[in-house]
Structures are given as structure tokens and as C-alpha cells.
Amino acid sequence: MFILTFSMFYFVVPFIQMFFKTYRDNTSLFTILLNQMSNGEVFFNLLMSAICLLLIIVSYHLRFKSMGNIKFKETWKQKGLEGKVLYKKIKLITDIIFLVGVASIVLLIFEVGSLKTYLALGSLTRGLDKSPTDYIGSSYLQLVTLSVIILIPPYLYLYLYRLKNSKIILLKFFISLIFAVLFLLYNQGRAPLVIFFLPFFFAIGKRRKKGVLGLAILFGVGLFLLAYLDAIFQYLAYGYYAVEQSGNYITEFLSQFSYPFANFSLRNELIQYSGYRYMYDYVIWPFTMIPSSILELIGISKESIISVSTFNTKAYGAFLGVDPTGGIPVDLLTFNYYQFGYFTLLPMCLVIGRILRRLDLIFYFFKNNFAIRIVLYRISFSMIGILNNADLSAIVRNRLDIVLLLLIIIYIYIYEKRLIETKRSEQ
């Protein structure tokens, strides 16, 4: 998934940009600037992206010590005491997340006055000149970040249901699914809505693999639905809708997915505008989660904590002499280039390769664990949302559900691996 997503952003986009000039999009700040580049400039940045991916792949395959072969067969059918203990722990964690997520959304609905207003907030608060505090009290702002965790329970409840068929668990699954959809409609993100349901397509039903063909079909369907999802969000916010068709999928593709490559191609210009960050973005993300009232007690103003994404968006506005109406996220490569140029970009590519290798080893541990597959799919497909918005502050704030799911998977991995090692030592 990482290589597929990386290729889509940094290889497919520039390829289309060079060879399908008549289909270029010219409606967004990043596509306007990308269209001003020559084929030589686009090709050079494609090569630079390829070098970064090569470093990631080489680092991924480096073996400093033998990791051993992992064999883990059908452990999801465990019915022993250890399996019951793990089941109860995950069930407790899921129930807590479920209650916190539902409570956050319900409180926000009461705060804004109605369900309709809540669903419209995503559109009403988009843009740098708008703030959630125009509609939500400052004491409720943390609930906005916290409510994203409602996206976790549907996957974990389905996992638990496969371990033990329970009508109560099934009921919780459907309730959590309803609230998850409400959050996604509030969030007004088309890609998150499609990606949320993607794992269910791959994990529900028979255990056969859907493969790359299934991904291609779903990607095509998702691209087709983009304009119609926009119409739904527009109706929720303003009471009317209009379906805008660009006339072809290639133009729509470029308008939606070319900003990571545009960022990376403009990396030197972006640095000239904002300056290097010197790993600042690797340090400030915890503070973005802390309420401003608490930060003020230790002498820190939250307004002084400016994320790299804010500078990135303002830079585009400055280049074109306009006032940006929406944010332009920072992709994975540009995020690390922002820190200290190639001195941070290239080493971080090596680090990313090692992280991916470790994650793959953990995922391989669950190779024959059909029950947990839905959770693994969710984490894998979320690569799309992490590669195109790699700002750690944004990941922890907007993708808190993925962060927690990953921590839960690591917890299950450690628990069951220790259990296997204990049984081996007793034999």
C-alpha cells in the first residue's frame, strides 16, 4: 500500500502532467503552479522522488540480524484462558473508545444546536479565515479532535464478533457505524469516507483476496463519486447542491491528487518563503493536543505554535497573490525537506524504510488471523491519508483513530507473541 500510494502521488501524477497536457487541471493553486513547470523540471522532480523511494526500499530490505521465521496459524480460534483474557481486554478498550466517541459527538450536536448544523460544520469552518470557535465554544474544541476516535469501534467490534458471535457486539457494531458515518459527513472529506468503507469490502465475506483488481475498481468508483460526495456536503452546509463535472477522470484525478508532487517540486521556493523548520515539527505535535488554557499555565501561547501546513498554504497564496480559501497539506517528502533540506529528507527515507519493515513483520504475524484482518486493512489503506498529509500535528489530531488502532495492534502482537514464546519455553 505504501508503494502503490507513493507511486500514485509521485510517479503517476507527473507522468500524466507531462504526457496529457490537454487534460491538466487549472482550478487549484497547486495545479496552477505545477502547470507552469517545464517537462524537464517535472521529470527531474520525478527522478528525485524515485531516489527517495529507492532509499526507502533499500532500507526496508537491509538485514542487520536474523528476524527468524514467524509461524502463526489460526490463533484467532483460541478458546483457552489466555484467549478469553485478551478478548475481555480488547472489548473493554473498544467499549471505552465507543462511549467517549459517541459522547463527544452528542455533546457537539447539543453545543451547535442541531444535527443539521453539526453535519454542516465541516464546510462552514473550511479555510484559513474561518475558525471552529465561530460555531463551537472553546471549551468544546477538544471534543472535535476526540470525536474522530468513533471511527475505531466499527473495526474492533467486527474483530470481536468474529472471535465470538454475540448479538450485543453486533448491535454495538451497527450503532458505532452510524455514529462513524455522522462524523465522516461532518468531516466533509470525500477520501476519508471512501477509505473508511474500503476495508469492509476487502474483509467481509469469503476469505479470498480481492487483490489489485479490487483496488483498481474501487479507486475508479471512488473517483466517479467525488463530485457527487461534494454535492452532498454542499447540501448539508448550504441547503442546495450542484454536481460539477470536469468532463474527464484525468482532470479530476489531477485536481485531487497532484498537490503532494506540486509541494515537492516547489520545495526550494517553499523554503525561501518559510525557512527551514529544524525538526521543530517533530517536537511541537504533543502541544497541539493540549488545551490552550493548560498551555498558558506553563507560559506557552497556542497561537505561537504554527504548524508547517499553515506556512505551506500561505506560501501558495503569496506565490500567486491570492488569499487561500482552504488548506494545502504537506506530503511526506516535503515535510521532511522542510526540516533541513536533503540533510533530513534522505536520512528520514532510511528511517521510514525500517518503520515499514517492522510494521510488515507485525502484520505478517497475523497472516492467518482472519478475525483481525479488517483492522489490518484499515491501517494499510490509511497510508493514503498519511502520505499526502504527513504533518505529525495533523496525523495525531486528524488521524488519531489510526494512531490508536496501530497501538492496539502492537499491544495484541506483544501479548500473543509473549504467549507463544511462553508456551515454547514450557515444552
pLDDT (0 to 100) of residue 426: 67
How many helices and strands in the chain, by DSSP H and E? 22, 0
3-state helix, strand, coil in the chain (%, to 5): 75, 0, 25
Q: How far out from the chain centre does Cα 11 lie?
A: 20
Q: Is the pTM for the entire model greater than 0.85?
A: no
Structure confidence by residue, pLDDT tens digits, 97-125? 999 999 999 988 888 888 887 877 766 55
Degrees to nearest 5, angle at CA 152 with 204 and 115: 105
Cell of 6: 507513493
Cell of 179: 455514529
DSSP string spanning 135-148? Answer: TS-GGGHHHHHHGG
Structure confidence by residue, pLDDT tens digits, 178-225? 999 999 888 766 677 878 888 888 776 555 555 555 555 555 555 555
Rounded to whole angstroms, the Cα distance separating 334 from 316 reads 14
Rounded to whole angstroms, the Cα distance separating 390 from 394 reads 7
Among 308, 296, 375, 303, CA closest to 337: 308
Rounded to whole angstroms, the Cα distance separating 427 from 424 reads 5
Among 345, 350, 332, 337, CA closest to 395: 332
pLDDT (0 to 100) of residue 74: 43
H helices of 62-166, in order, are 81-112, 115-124, 141-146, 153-163
Rounded to whole angstroms, the Cα distance separating 79 from 87 reads 10
Place of cell 443539521: 116
CB 41, CB 91: distance < 8 Å: no
For the chain, give the number of residues: 427
Say whether 156 sits in a helix, a strand or coil.
helix
Q: How far out from the chain centre does Cα 86 lie?
A: 27
Q: Letter for the amino acid at 328?
A: I
pLDDT (0 to 100) of residue 240: 46
Rounded to whole angstroms, the Cα distance separating 237 from 340 reads 41
Degrees to nearest 5, angle at CA 115 with 110 and 116: 130
Give just the sign of the alpha carbon dihedral 265, 267, 268, 270.
positive
Among 70, 72, 3, CA closest to 372: 72
Rounded to whole angstroms, the Cα distance separating 373 from 207 reads 10
DSSP string spanning 392-418? Answer: HHHHHHHSHHHHHHHHHHHHHHHHHHH
User: Residues 6 or more apart from 347 whose CB is under 8 A from it?
Assistant: none
pLDDT along the chain (427 residues), means of 10: 92 93 88 93 96 96 62 46 81 95 90 80 56 61 82 94 91 95 81 82 62 57 56 48 60 88 95 92 84 76 83 91 85 96 96 94 88 90 87 86 93 88 72
Degrees to nearest 5, angle at CA 353 with 9 and 223: 25
Rounded to whole angstroms, the Cα distance separating 389 from 377 reads 19
Degrees to nearest 5, angle at CA 385 with 205 and 159: 30
Say whether 330 sits in a helix, a strand or coil.
coil
Rounded to whole angstroms, the Cα distance separating 162 from 327 reads 40
